[in-house]
Amino acid sequence: MQNPFENALVQLEKAANIMSLDKNIYEILKYPDRVLTVSVPVKMDNGEIRVFVGFRSQYNNALGPYKGGIRYHENVSLDEVKALSFWMMIKCATVNIPMGGGKGGIIVDSKKLSLGELKRLSRGYIQKIWREIGSDKDVPAPDMYTTSQIMGWMRDEYEKLLGHADPGVITGKAIADGGSEGREIATAQGGVYVVRELAKRLKLQPNEVKVAIQGMGNVGGFMAKLLSDDGYKIVAISDSKGGIYNENGLDVKAVFEHKKQTGFLSDFSNAQNIYNEHLLELDTDILVPSAMENQITIQNANNIKAKMILEMANGPTTPEADEILAQRNIIVVPDVLANAGGVTVSCFEWEQNNKNERWSEEQVFIKLESIMVQAFNEVWETKEKFNITMRAAAFVKAIERVAAKIKI
């Protein structure tokens, strides 16, 4: 298994070389500012105490408070959390929002916990880290297997310990608890703004562009609907159980209806059933991996036929595969740009909470579009300037911003 933090450091080194980064700043950026490891004792429903291990990595706050989700998963590790906090620093700096990089996690299979146990675990974790977070210090959010309900418990526990309200301490809250309008579709909506800019740069007409989408969750599902509404031809969609393909385009609304009725994508009329592996290798214009990490690897990178890849999942392409795609002149719009709509609207939620404001969904998306378009154009221009990939360009642009704020 590849060490994600080692991958992150390879990316940092590559960008540092391209931009001739000051060696002192490079040295600072190789390490997180602070990493917390905590033990969280939880009284289980049977009366026994179980101890869960949790982490919070605060990578860099040169641009603003640390920002990043908390995940509940049995494979959470210190190196994973450090890597994710590094990538959050890059992502926030790529889209130029006033936030740094953070990430948290607990080693747990949350599906095996009762609601009461989950609540006690979530509150217990905050009891261990509360002095290190706050709307002016570190702002967590939901991630894998954490929800707006869990964020609500965490915020409540934090405010109890703090002794006063601080609604901006956590984002990804329910609307009723101070969450932002538009947050549910923000990641996909940000991705759509990026696709529009890419189409302008490459002079593509939406109705001539074939798109394959891996993943039908919150991100992939909304991408399919929004791109279809924009006139793009969605030729393939998959979920964890398999996928469907029609080279002339799928009726996206009917696909969703079919999945709702049957629970599966397979056996949709006018489409052939395909596996996820097959979807990745289809002859399409844009491939949108929006499921898990490490989907495009050294094993399949030479079989990718898409002209462009829009990374809506985090880390769907391994570094080795990235090299192969670059040699084959396949444009990869990296995750730190493509899926940054989510963290951008989280930043908006934090801003609304701190200013005691409520923005409409329309206001949120006007602001989001402006930020995503600007970031895309800056990354594209950096790519052209150095003759590098879009991923390298995003890292160069982000590290430039962070480096300018680091005081040596």
Supply the mean pLDDT for the chain. 94
- How many angstroms separate the CA atoms of 209 and 195, rounded? 11
Check residue 132 and give its pLDDT: 97
Question: Which of 279, 310, 338 lies at the terminal end of a domain, its last residue?
Answer: 338
Check residue 294 and give its pLDDT: 83
Is residue 137 assigned to a domain?
yes
Q: Is the pLDDT of residue 340 over 90?
A: yes
DSSP secondary structure code for residue 310 in this structure: E
Rounded to an integer, the average pLDDT of 302-324 is 93
Place of tokens 């289980």: 44
Together in a domain, 113 and 193: no
Is residue 218 assigned to a domain?
yes
Quick: pLDDT tens for 32-78: 999 999 999 999 999 999 999 999 999 999 999 999 999 999 999 99
Together in a domain, 144 and 206: no
- How many angstroms separate the CA atoms of 236 and 225, rounded? 13
pTM over 0.85: yes
Q: Is the pLDDT of residue 220 over 80?
A: yes
Together in a domain, 253 and 121: no
Quick: pLDDT tens for 380-408: 999 999 999 999 999 999 999 999 999 87
Question: In CATH, what number is assigned to the domain containing residue 160?
Answer: 3.40.50.10860
Together in a domain, 155 and 251: no
* Catalytic residue status for 259: no
Question: Which of 173, 208, 242 lies at the terminal end of a domain, its last residue?
Answer: 173
Together in a domain, 169 and 314: no
Q: Is the pLDDT of residue 379 over 90?
A: yes
Is residue 408 assigned to a domain?
no
SS3 144: coil
- How many angstroms separate the CA atoms of 402 and 89, rounded? 8
Long-range contacts for 127-130 (Cβ within 8 Å, ≥24 apart)?
127/40, 127/157, 127/161, 128/36, 128/38, 128/39, 128/40, 128/54, 129/36, 129/38, 129/54, 129/56, 129/104, 130/157, 130/158, 130/161, 130/162
Domain that holds residue 331: 184-338
Give the total residue count for the chain: 408
Give the chain's domain count.
Answer: 2
Together in a domain, 99 and 214: no
Together in a domain, 148 and 253: no
Check residue 392 and give its pLDDT: 95
Together in a domain, 103 and 128: yes
Question: In CATH, what number is assigned to the domain containing residue 202?
Answer: 3.40.50.720
Together in a domain, 160 and 188: no
Residue 260, CA atoms < 13 Å, CB-side half-sphere: 7
Q: Is the pLDDT of residue 1 over 70?
A: no
Together in a domain, 122 and 267: no
Is residue 23 assigned to a domain?
no
More confident residue, 232 or 408: 232
Among 49, 172, 42, 174, CA closest to 118: 42
**What are the CA-CA distances from residue 183 to residues 59, 129, 171, 275 (Å)?**
24, 26, 10, 30
Q: Which of 67, 103, 210, 397 is catalytic?
A: 103
Q: Is the pLDDT of residue 318 over 90?
A: no
Quick: pLDDT tens for 142-154: 988 999 999 999 9
Rounded to an integer, the average pLDDT of 325-337 is 96
Q: Is the pLDDT of residue 270 over 90?
A: no
Is residue 55 assigned to a domain?
yes
Convert 397-408 to b/e letters by CB count within 10 Å (16 or more is b): bbbebbbeeeee
Question: Which of 115, 144, 173 lies at the terminal end of a domain, its last residue?
Answer: 173
Is residue 350 assigned to a domain?
no
Is residue 6 assigned to a domain?
no
SS3 403: helix
Is residue 280 assigned to a domain?
yes
Together in a domain, 138 and 238: no
Together in a domain, 151 and 198: no
SS3 104: strand
Of the listed ranges 32-41, 97-106, 170-179, 266-275, the one predicted with least confidence:
266-275
Going by pLDDT thresholds of 50, 70 and 90, the confidence category of residue 4 is confident
